[in-house]
Amino acid sequence: MTITKTTSATAKVLGVNGNIVRLQMSDGQIMKNEVAFVCVGDERLKAEVLRINGNEADLQVFEDTDGIRFGDFVELSGELLSVSLGPGLLGTIYDGLQNPLSELAELDGFFLKRGRDVAALDPDRLWDFTPICKVGDVVVAGQVLGTVPENHIRHKIMVPFDATSEMTVKSIAEGRLKTNSTIATLVEPSGRSRDVPLVQPWPVRTPIPASMQQQRIVDREFPTQPLITTTRIVDTFFPIARGGTACIPGPFGAGKTVLQGLIARYCTVDVVVVVACGERAGEVVETIHEFAEMDDPRTGGKLMDRTIIICNTSSMPVAAREASIYTGITLGEYYRQMGLNVLLLADSTSRWAQAMRETSGRLEEIPGEEAFPAYLDSAIKTLYERAGVLRLADGETGSLTLIGSVSPAGGNFEEPVTQSTLGTVKCFLGLSYDRAYKRFYPAIDPLISWSRYREQLETFFETEVDPQWNEGVSAMHQLLRDGESIDQMMQVTGEEGISIEDYVIYQKSLFLDMVYLQQDAYDPVDVSVPLERQKETFLLCQNLIHRSYTFEEKEQARTFFTKLTGLFKNLNTAPTDSADYKRFRKEIIDLATTS
């Protein structure tokens, strides 16, 4: 594919409507999604071409548009909106356009000035480059030329993804190189040479694998492995496939940010990309501080060492918020091409959709439902389709898992963003205000949530966990539904209106909810439960629930299950194989046996 055009163009401003600027071409050509700079005095405001009509075009400006006047000069770059891909991304906090916020803060202090354009990767940083290819080798797009160490991973430097033919290695470097250094020179069949830098650009709105599939370097695979989050309700009842898609919708205060943070820390991935897409600045600052200080259980370092944060809060420009999610997913795709497992957390896609709605309104496009653009559904599907599992030419497998949180106003799951997302993803973890109000964590409602990966991952769980695992999970899920029906009946008739048999079923469902579906996010043991311990806990719960109990009165049943719940909660917070764990387990079995 072509990233740059061969001719330059000049233009001037015709009008301004919020962050939308209309320009008129003086000469040359213009591309959709081309980067332009609106010149206001000494400031160059970055923008992107959204629509072209003859010799006129509309730009969305990624900065405050105050001061832009009719006739101002517009500089067209000839390049698509792109990000820089190379070593040094991990541990960095960027804005929606991949400007490192730490560098901007050093330049401007507390309040960031507009018009700043800072290099995404430190040009003076040195990297130890180890070549894999040698002079004379024939390579194609995406093939690995060499590696450099980046934190805990070996960062693969690849042939540019836009290469359209086989090329021969003419020369290749070795040793300590700067970020902007050339690491190899390749020769095309036509004889033209091409220098390959350590860092390559890629347009954010184009999936990376697209050009590589033409060279048969990658094949998209069906996800067959679960993303182990160590959160019991997710891994057991609503699993997410590694390389799959999921959404976490819920009202404000239901715990979306906490749940995403713990998934990022404990799940089975190599790289985490967090896109703070329009969230409140306070929540983003809290995430940044926690990730910087939090120990990483996978690497032994800090969680931030394998994390990239794209920070575009609600107080930042709307247009940059819309671009931020594409910046994040392109970085995720890049690490997936190295054979790594990547998790992208988008918080929240509702703010991203609202940014599109605002821009669409200013472009005077025909609105869809609730004034969202008519192409909202298509935009959401296109975004989530960029997740997936790829098998590379060297036999390695890389995955990109996309989990987006949705913040529907008033917790209304019928609004357009939630509905379009539900029609796209294969796992829905619906957060309930009522459960959050009761201090349940996670506040995932087991009666409205679902996962289409349950059937897809049946073989894994039956082989790696337990042969009867899926059957047992289905039975426990039915128990939760039966318990909810009985609870609704008691809301009308009271406990006197149901039989003691139904009351015991209700108590069993409540027990399962309290001891298995709920976890303590502040307890060092219960906050993260490995799959092996989940299996042991679930099978114990199942054994206790399937037992036949004889109670003469409902009060006797309530007392028994209350005591059983207390003992089981103590078991959940006891380290595996500790003396306390063995003692609580014995007390639970003794209590069940004598009742």
Distance of CA 409 to CAs 25, 406, 447, Å?
42, 10, 21
In three-state secondary structure terms, 134 is coil
Question: What is d(CA 159, CA 156) in angstroms, rounded to the nearest whole number?
Answer: 10
Q: Are residues 484 and 435 in the same domain?
A: no
Beta strands in 244-374 (DSSP E): 245-249, 271-277, 307-312, 341-347
Q: Are residues 236 and 349 in the same domain?
A: yes
Say whether pLDDT at 212 is over 70: no
CATH number of the domain enclosing 310: 3.40.50.300
> What confidence score (pLDDT) does residue 8 get?
59
Per-residue pLDDT, averaged over 349-364, amounts to 92
Reference 456, options 230, 138, 243; nearest CA is: 243
Pairing between β-strand 397-406 and β-strand 73-80 as defined by DSSP bridges: unpaired
> What confidence score (pLDDT) does residue 102 get?
86
Say whether pLDDT at 211 is over 70: no
Distance of CA 68 to CAs 48, 72, 99, Å?
16, 7, 23
Q: How many domains does the chain have?
A: 4
Look at 428 and 320; give whichever has higher pLDDT. 428
Q: Are residues 257 and 399 in the same domain?
A: yes
pLDDT digit string (tens) for 48-58?
999 999 899 99
Say whether pLDDT at 576 is over 90: yes
Beta strands in 240-290 (DSSP E): 245-249, 271-277
Contacts of 504 (CB under 8 A, 6+ apart): 549, 551, 557
pLDDT digit string (tens) for 140-162?
888 899 999 999 999 999 999 98
Look at 409 and 353; give whichever has higher pLDDT. 353
Q: Are 429 and 246 in contact (CB under 8 A)?
A: yes
> What confidence score (pLDDT) does residue 68 get?
94
Residue 367 in domain: yes
Structure tokens that stand for 354 in this block: 């609202």
Say whether pLDDT at 475 is over 70: yes
CATH number of the domain enclosing 75: 2.40.10.170
Question: What is d(CA 408, CA 250) in angstroms, rounded to the nearest whole number?
Answer: 7
Reference 19, options 74, 68, 80; nearest CA is: 68
Say whether pLDDT at 2 is over 70: no
Residue 214 in domain: no
Cα 142 off chain centre by:
23
Q: Are residues 400 and 252 in the same domain?
A: yes
Q: Do the annotations mark residue 252 as ligand-binding?
A: yes
> What confidence score (pLDDT) does residue 295 get?
84
Domain span at 40:
10-80
Residue 112 in domain: no
Say whether pLDDT at 316 is over 60: yes
Residue 85 in domain: no
Sign of CA dihedral 336, 342, 347, 348: positive
CATH number of the domain enclosing 508: 1.10.1140.10
Q: In which band, very low, low, confident or very high, does the pLDDT at 314 lie, cut at 50, 70 and 90?
A: low
> What confidence score (pLDDT) does residue 210 get?
47
Burial class (CB in 10 A: 0-12, 13-18, 19+), 366: exposed
Reference 49, options 37, 65, 36, 62; nearest CA is: 36
Q: Indicate the residue type of 326.
A: Y
Q: In which band, very low, low, confident or very high, does the pLDDT at 29 lie, cut at 50, 70 and 90?
A: confident
Helix (H) or strand (E) holding 145: strand 144-150
Q: In which band, very low, low, confident or very high, does the pLDDT at 213 lie, cut at 50, 70 and 90?
A: very low
Q: Is the peptide bond before 360 cis (omega within 30 degrees of 0)?
A: no
Q: Are 242 and 399 in contact (CB under 8 A)?
A: yes
Q: Do the annotations mark residue 328 as ligand-binding?
A: no
| CA–CA–CA angle 173, 179, 183 (5° rounding) | 20
Cα 483 off chain centre by:
34
Question: What is d(CA 379, CA 135) in angstroms, rounded to the nearest whole number?
Answer: 44
Reference 268, options 328, 223, 310; nearest CA is: 223
Angle between helices 469-493 and 500-512 (to 10 degrees): 120
Q: Are residues 358 and 261 in the same domain?
A: yes
Helix (H) or strand (E) holding 213: helix 209-214
Q: Do the annotations mark residue 256 as ligand-binding?
A: yes
| CA–CA–CA angle 8, 12, 17 (5° rounding) | 125
Look at 300 and 196; give whichever has higher pLDDT. 196
Q: Are residues 230 and 334 in the same domain?
A: yes
Reference 77, options 59, 95, 65; nearest CA is: 59
Residue 161 in domain: yes
Structure tokens that stand for 208 in this block: 């990376």
Q: Do the annotations mark residue 560 as ligand-binding?
A: no
> What confidence score (pLDDT) does residue 330 get?
97
Q: Are residues 388 and 499 in the same domain?
A: no
pLDDT digit string (tens) for 372-387?
999 999 999 999 999 9
Q: Do the annotations mark residue 70 as ligand-binding?
A: no
Q: In which band, very low, low, confident or very high, does the pLDDT at 40 lie, cut at 50, 70 and 90?
A: very high
Backbone φ and ψ for 370, nearest 5 degrees, come out as 55, 30
Sign of CA dihedral 412, 418, 420, 424: negative
Q: Quickly count: other Cβ atoms within 10 Å of residue 298's Cβ.
A: 14
Q: Are residues 492 and 447 in the same domain?
A: no
Reference 210, options 164, 246, 244, 169; nearest CA is: 164
Per-residue pLDDT, averaged over 509-526, amounts to 95
Say whether pLDDT at 436 is over 80: yes
Q: Do the annotations mark residue 535 as ligand-binding?
A: no
pLDDT digit string (tens) for 299-310?
888 889 999 999
Residue 187 in domain: yes
> What confidence score (pLDDT) does residue 163 get?
87
Question: What is d(CA 119, CA 530) in angstroms, rounded to the nearest whole number?
Answer: 41
Q: Are residues 191 and 241 in the same domain?
A: no
Residue 383 in domain: yes
Q: Do the annotations mark residue 421 as ligand-binding?
A: no
Q: Do the annotations mark residue 142 as ligand-binding?
A: no
Question: What is d(CA 360, CA 129) in angstroms, rounded to the nearest whole number?
Answer: 46
Q: Indicate the residue type of 466.
A: D
Per-residue pLDDT, averaged over 42-49, amounts to 93
Per-residue pLDDT, averaged over 388-411, amounts to 88
Q: Indicate the residue type of 211.
A: S
Q: Indicate the residue type of 380.
A: I
Structure tokens that stand for 577 in this block: 């194989």
3-state secondary structure 365-411: CCECHHHCECCHHHHHHHHHCCCEEEEECCCCEEEEEEEEEECCHHH
Q: Are residues 350 and 303 in the same domain?
A: yes
Residue in this structure with the two tokens 């902007």, named with its chain if needed:
180
Helix (H) or strand (E) holding 117: none
Q: Are residues 363 and 487 in the same domain?
A: no
pLDDT digit string (tens) for 108-130?
777 778 888 899 999 999 999 99
| CA–CA–CA angle 474, 478, 481 (5° rounding) | 145
Sign of CA dihedral 360, 364, 370, 375: negative
CATH number of the domain enclosing 132: 2.40.50.100
Residue that terminates a domain, selected from 46, 80, 114: 80
Q: Are residues 428 and 280 in the same domain?
A: yes
Question: What is d(CA 359, CA 329) in angstroms, rounded to the nearest whole number?
Answer: 21
Residue that terminates a domain, selected from 397, 418, 451: 451
Say whether pLDDT at 184 is over 90: yes
> What confidence score (pLDDT) does residue 462 get?
93
Contacts of 227 (CB under 8 A, 6+ apart): 239, 240, 241, 242, 244, 267, 268, 269, 343, 401
Q: Is the peptide bond before 442 cis (omega within 30 degrees of 0)?
A: yes
pLDDT digit string (tens) for 254-287?
888 889 889 999 999 999 999 988 766 666 777 7
Residue 571 in domain: yes
Average pLDDT value over all residues in the chain: 91
Say whether pLDDT at 6 is over 60: no
In three-state secondary structure terms, 486 is helix
Top mean pLDDT of 276-280, 409-413, 489-493 is at 489-493
Question: What is d(CA 11, CA 25) in angstroms, rounded to the nearest whole number?
Answer: 4
